[in-house]
Amino acid sequence: MTSEPTETSTSSTGEITGHSGELAVQVARAHGVETMFTLSGAHVFPMYDGAVKTQQDGQGPAMRLLDVRHEQTAAFAAEATGKLTRVPGLAVLTAGPGVTNGISAIAQAQFAGSPMVVVGGRAPQNRWGTGALQELDQPPIIAPIAKSARTLMTAADVAEGMDEAFTLARSSHRGPVFVDIPMDEFFNSASGTVGAGGTTRLEPDPEAVRRVAGLLAEASRPVLILSTDVWADGAEEAALRFVEDLGVPTLTNGMGRGILPGGHRHLVTKARGAALSGADLVVVVGTPLDFRLGYGVFGGPDKNPDGAFAKVVHVADSPGQVSGHADLAASVAGDLTTVLDGIQAAIESGAKPDWSAWSDQLADLVKAATARDAELLTAEADPIHPARIYGELVPRLADDSVVIGDGGDFVSFAGKFVEPKRPGGWLDPGPYGCLGAGLGSAIAARIARPSAQVTLLLGDGAAGFSLMDVDTLVRHDLPVVMVMGNNSAWGLEKGPMQMLYGYDVAADLAQRTPYDQVVTALGGAGETVTDPTQIGPALDRAYASGVPYLVNVITDVEAAYPRNTFGI
Ligand SMILES: Cc1ncc(C[n+]2csc(CCOP(=O)(O)OP(=O)(O)O)c2C)c(N)n1
Ligand SMILES: [Mg+2]
């Protein structure tokens, strides 16, 4: 394909003129976007032409076109890019089915607060209502699962509309923004201004900050929870300072994992139950008080010898995120670095609290749990216990590793055993829990962190949603190591159904399928492993291969993840 740079396209900031695709791409570039994830459709061709022109104009980083095999992969790749880079990911989806195929990822971005912009194609306005191909009014479908969803009706609306979309997506509380552009207007030209690409930051109420500091200073057994928005808001350094200087026992989850590197003395994730049951104050930073956190109720008569519930403080990046259902002792909303630094300064201006007895008690429990884990991690059972895979994988993970989980029980085991060394490298399904994000996330990670080790953990069930996009890894030369826990079942559904009914249906998959051969057929490589002692050598071959490589480990379907909640 050839495309001449037009004289009308100008630098990445300032006045620009061009067709809607050029305008939209220039705005995206001004916001720091470097990759467009897409699957071809004529409705969005101008976006491709806009990208090609950036590859020729020498005015800044070119917009890379990354074409995939299913729009869900494009949208999940954009979502993961938002999570990893903290710059909105960009997915470009063709009209109608292209857009509807991206909906799960948009919903996931809304649940996880991931900054992303989705540009949809749209049937031409000059034919609207007469039955053009794929004529679907998309914004009303997407509005409930996005920060904003609207049509940029004319080419003259595109530059400003796109700037608003990116600014909104990347401002607290982050999330997905959808725009579509009618096809006739997509090809039309107009002028517009491209700015430097900004964001907005919210100042917290100083009085609220002081109140939280007061509660923390008075607490005897506090626990801090650091989660996704701490990373998304760029507050990971403030959070680490806060924990180390004050000595507060801390749990991490979501993208917050790694803020305290695995093994850190104040990280008590392995004593989570005891920490949350025994705490007299739980300070939750950067995540909703949802099912993963017992809806914000900690302690109480069945958990705690003195029967007391913990006081709960909710710290959020924006007022709309503060829990409306939990019984809160205090809350504060705003830029999380400012909030954490403010609380710390207020505490340090008084007598320094001493939580060392509580902290030591939890540290002993962490030690005991680590010793218990060691047994599972070295299990020699045949068929292989999924934990053994992590026994082999964890020592091989690099400090800069990006670890992506797409699956059920197999990924829950990862949550238990993998403790990242740095923040921003752990991508799990999060509160939306959508299977199928795997290949899109892996593509995004390989691009966002070109020199990092990238590992995708796949359940055999989850793999079915996106494995064809190994083709994308191969075509774009994106080596990723995929590790599959293949229990020949939808394990996370089989176990609970057995528990509820004493039998299960619709939970078995074909037995011991050699999915590595699928990857090989698509141009990658891989192998099947059935002997626990062979997992390590297979992983070494995978990391050394330099190609998309699937280590397909056949595991024991009976080795279900021990869980006591179904997430409701
Ligand atoms: C899109 C989607 N469909 C269905 C589910 C329900 N679900 C959650 S976990 C799970 C089983 C996953 O199986 P697999 O990936 O093989 O992992 P395993 O639990 O066997 O380790 C299913 C079907 C879901 N979360 N997302
Ligand atoms: Mg499975």
Instruction: Say yes or no: 319 and 276 in one domain.
Output: yes
Residue 20, classed as helix, strand or coil, is: helix
Instruction: Say yes or no: 156 and 229 in one domain.
Output: no
Provide block-wise average pLDDT over 10 residues at a time, the chain (568 residues).
Answer: 33 82 96 97 98 90 96 98 98 98 98 98 97 96 98 98 96 97 98 82 95 98 98 98 98 97 96 96 98 95 85 98 97 98 97 95 97 94 96 97 98 96 94 97 98 98 98 98 98 95 98 98 98 98 98 96 72
Residue 566 included in any domain: no
Last residue of a domain, one of 300, 335, 364: 364
Instruction: Say yes or no: 195 and 209 in one domain.
Output: no
Instruction: Say yes or no: 35 and 94 in one domain.
Output: yes
Q: Whose CA is nearest to atom 3 of ligand 1?
A: 435
CATH number, domain of 237, equals: 3.40.50.1220
Using CB atoms within 10 Å of the CB of residue 396, give its burial: 0 to 12 exposed, 13 to 18 middle, 19+ buried. middle
β partners of residue 379: none
Look up tokens 């057929």; give the residue.
Answer: 521
Distance (Å, whole) CA 324 – CA 370: 36
β partners of residue 481: 455, 549
Instruction: Say yes or no: 188 and 68 in one domain.
Output: yes
Tell me the pairing of strands 116-122 and 176-182: parallel
What is the predicted pLDDT for the residue at 10? 35
CB 310 within 8 A of CB 279: yes
CB 70 within 8 A of CB 14: no
CATH number, domain of 45, equals: 3.40.50.970
Which DSSP letter does residue 385 get? P
Q: Whose CA is nearest to atom 16 of ligand 1?
A: 461
Nearest bound ligand to CA 495? Answer: 1
Residue 369 included in any domain: no
**Ligand 1 pocket, mutate which of 490, 509, 512, 566 (most atoms under 8 A from CB):** 490
Atom of ligand 1 nearest to the CA of 487: 20
Instruction: Say yes or no: 536 and 487 in one domain.
Output: yes
Q: How many CA atoms lie within 13 A of 157 on its CB side?
A: 13
Atom of ligand 1 nearest to the CA of 104: 1
Instruction: Say yes or no: 546 and 399 in one domain.
Output: yes
Q: How many CA atoms lie within 13 A of 217 on its CB side?
A: 16
Last residue of a domain, one of 182, 200, 218: 200
Q: What is the pTM of this model?
A: 0.96
Sheet holding 222-226, edge to edge: 250-252, 222-226, 281-285, 311-316, 330-333
Instruction: Say yes or no: 280 and 222 in one domain.
Output: yes
Question: What is the distance between the terminal CA atoms of the chain, rounded to a whole angstrom?
Answer: 51
Atom of ligand 1 nearest to the CA of 434: 26
**Ligand 1 pocket, mutate which of 384, 439, 492 (most atoms under 8 A from CB):** 492
Q: How many CA atoms lie within 13 A of 116 on its CB side?
A: 38
Compute the distance from residue 539 Cα to the ligand 2 centre, in Å.
20
CB 390 within 8 A of CB 291: no
Residue 247 included in any domain: yes
Q: Whose CA is nearest to atom 4 of ligand 1?
A: 435
What is the predicted pLDDT for the residue at 201? 81
Which DSSP letter does residue 165 get? H
Q: Which residues line ligand 1 (CB under 6 A)?
A: 407-410, 433-436, 459-462, 485, 487, 489-493
Residue 561 included in any domain: no
CB 524 within 8 A of CB 439: no
Residue 268 included in any domain: yes
Instruction: Say yes or no: 194 and 214 in one domain.
Output: no
Residue 459 included in any domain: yes
Give the distance from CA 120 to its chain's centroid: 22
Instruction: Say yes or no: 188 and 289 in one domain.
Output: no
Q: Which of 222, 263, 490, 456 is nearest to 367 (CA)?
A: 263
Residue 97 included in any domain: yes
Distance (Å, whole) CA 31 – CA 38: 19
* Tally of domains in the chain: 3
Instruction: Say yes or no: 417 and 311 in one domain.
Output: no
Instruction: Say yes or no: 332 and 193 in one domain.
Output: no
Which DSSP letter does residue 384 get? B
Angle at CA 37, nearest 5°, toward 137 and 70? 70
Q: Which of 25, 148, 33, 26 is nearest to 81 (CA)?
A: 33
What is the predicted pLDDT for the residue at 302? 82
Last residue of a domain, one of 175, 200, 225: 200
- Reading the block at residue 68, the tokens are 């995939």
The answer for residues whose C-beta is within 8 angstroms of residue 528's C-beta and 6 or more apart is 512, 514, 516, 552, 553, 554
What is the predicted pLDDT for the residue at 3? 36
Residue 371 included in any domain: no
- Reading the block at residue 530, the tokens are 């059935």
Please give the residue range of the domain that contains residue 500: 378-554
What is the predicted pLDDT for the residue at 396? 98
